[in-house]
Amino acid sequence: MLALEDTIVEMLLEEAIVEKLRNDGPCCFDDVVAGLPNFGWGQIFVAVDCMSRDGRVFLRQLGYSTYQISLGSQRTEFSS
């Protein structure tokens, strides 16, 4: 039963991340963590990692350890 509960929590977390990004637009990772107090930093990190690998969200490094998360449909290309 634990695996099913973990899957449900993961799905709820992913939905919460998408909803936060829909409401607030692109956010720094720390803002997402602060906006989802019912989930731990590690849980959010793993969810964002999985979601970025399949294109549901995109990550952009803003600074040494600062990352911005945006929805896949809101991706903006930047040239360096």
CB–CB of 12/55 below 8 Å? no
Count CB neighbours of 21 within 10 A.
21
Residue 76: per-residue pLDDT = 47
- Over 18-32, what HEC string results? HHHHHHHCCEEHHHH
pLDDT per residue, tens digit, the chain (80 aa), is 568 787 888 899 999 999 999 999 999 999 999 999 999 999 999 999 999 999 999 999 999 989 999 998 644 444 43
DSSP structure class, residue 27: E
Rounded to two decimals, the pTM is 0.82
For residue 56, the model assigns a pLDDT of: 94
Contact residues for 50 (Cβ-Cβ < 8 A; gap 6+) = 14
